[in-house]
């Protein structure tokens, strides 16, 4: 048998499945999934408790609550766009750009709001860190959810 006979012809289907395996990576562990959910819960709950206990006016509390919801949605949208593009799923440039723009806008809105707020420096830092933790954790939770769904569907195809 020659080397040419031993080489397997790679079809488009094989290339696509290899790319999917390469981009999917490994199945997320239960520990990482749990840690991601705990981080999201800790960031969001501490942010909201901080708002509840603050001496801000109701409209200020509403502003900061809206900013974190806006940031969470935007960050998840960016993660989805980046992941879709890496897997070869078409994402329009306008949606990709809007996702990045809204994520950056939510961060700028938080920074501008905190800079102009009558809060102590430690309170400002607390809101900034809780916001950052929540955004990062939301991205991790969304990634874990998508990866787990892929591996669950892959397991179901064999049974």
Mean pLDDT for each consecutive 10-residue tract of the chain (159 residues)?
45 48 71 94 96 93 96 95 91 95 97 94 95 96 86 65
Domain residues for 139?
A: 32-148
Q: Tell me how many domains the chain contains.
A: 1
What is the reported pLDDT for 15? 47
What is the reported pLDDT for 24? 58
Residue 120 domain flag: yes
Please give the model's pTM, rounded to 2 decimal places: 0.77
Distance from C-alpha of 155 to C-alpha of 147, rounded to nearest angstrom: 12
What is the reported pLDDT for 16? 47
Residue 157 domain flag: no
Residue 155 domain flag: no
Phi/psi for 129 (5° steps) reads -70, -40
CA 154 to chain centre: 23
Distance from C-alpha of 95 to C-alpha of 49, rounded to nearest angstrom: 33
What is the reported pLDDT for 14? 47
């Amino acid at each position: 048998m020659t080397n040419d006979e031993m080489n397997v012809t790679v079809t488009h289907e094989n290339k696509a499945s290899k790319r999917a395996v390469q981009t999917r990576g490994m199945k997320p562990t239960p520990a990482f999934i749990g840690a991601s959910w705990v981080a999201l819960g800790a960031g969001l709950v501490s942010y909201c408790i901080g708002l509840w206990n603050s001496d801000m006016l109701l409209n200020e509390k509403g502003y900061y609550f809206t900013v974190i919801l806006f940031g969470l949605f935007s960050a998840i949208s960016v993660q989805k766009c980046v992941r879709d593009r890496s897997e070869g799923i078409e994402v329009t440039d306008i949606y990709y750009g809007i996702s990045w723009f809204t994520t950056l806008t939510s961060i700028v809105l938080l920074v501008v709001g905190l800079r102009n707020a009558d809060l102590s420096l430690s309170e400002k830092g607390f809101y900034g860190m809780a916001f950052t933790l929540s955004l990062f954790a939301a991205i991790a939770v969304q990634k874990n959810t998508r990866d787990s769904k892929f591996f669950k569907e892959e397991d179901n195809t064999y049974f």
